[in-house]
Structure 1
Amino acid sequence: MTTANINVRVDANLKKEAEGLFNDLGLSMSSAITMFLKSAVRCDGIPFDVRRNPLNANTREALEEYKEMKAHPENYKRYDSFASLVRDIDNEA
């Protein structure tokens, strides 16, 4: 069997965590990636569900606030510059 190299750039922390996991499972990074590729070929696609992470409550609330601000800008104070925002905050403190 002829082999080929694959070069992949990943976050250093992700690589370290994955290596730890695979070592605990008795696998090398190369064997784990080979398992993934074989599974993808066998499944004729990604061998797991690919979904967006659900938004947490804070993010959903911020998006709703953004929609409200965009729909009714007249209800919100606007600033011409960051400096004027800071002055306003300093005056209110």
Structure 2
Amino acid sequence: MSTVPTQIRIDADVKKQANELFSELGLDMSGAVNIFLKQCVLRGGIPFKVEVPQYSKELLDAASEARRISRNPDIAGYTSMEDLKKALEE
């Protein structure tokens, strides 16, 4: 099997995360991309569902509230479970 060099542009953070994952799996980026491309050819398309996630309004509202709370300096934060337990008991 002959190989050819190929260049692709990838988001730096996604590349870092993918390299960490592939390393845990005993793969490098080239090997992982080859597996993906072989699966595309074998299946005659992308080998997984590509879709935009549809989150419920409740989940989106909860995420928005969590962001708001995390950015509010007036809301107490805790660095240990013991501190949180003490605050809850007060």
Query: Does TM, normalized by the shorter one, top 0.5?
Result: yes
- Correspondence for 2:50: 50
Match of 1:29 in 2: 29
C-alpha distance in structure 1 between counterparts of 2:12 and 2:53, whole Å = 22
User: What is the identity percentage for the equivalent residue pairs of Structure 1 and Structure 2?
Assistant: 42
TM-score after normalising by structure 2: 0.60
| TM-score, length basis structure 1 | 0.58
Whose helix proportion is higher, 1 or 2?
Answer: 1
1:25-71 residue CA offsets vs partner (Å, 9 max, x unmatched)? 0001000000000000000000001111214527x78xxxxxxxxxx
Look at both structures and tell me which one has the larger radius of gyration over its CA atoms.
1
Aligned length: 61
Deviation at 1:22, TM superposition (A): 0.1
Which structure 2 residues correspond to residues 55-74 of structure 1 after superposition, within 5 A?
Answer: 55-57=55-57
The gaps in structure 1 that reach 5 residues or longer are 62-93
- Cα deviation for residue 6 of structure 1 reads 1.6
CA-based RMSD:
2.0
> Partner of 2:8 in structure 1?
8
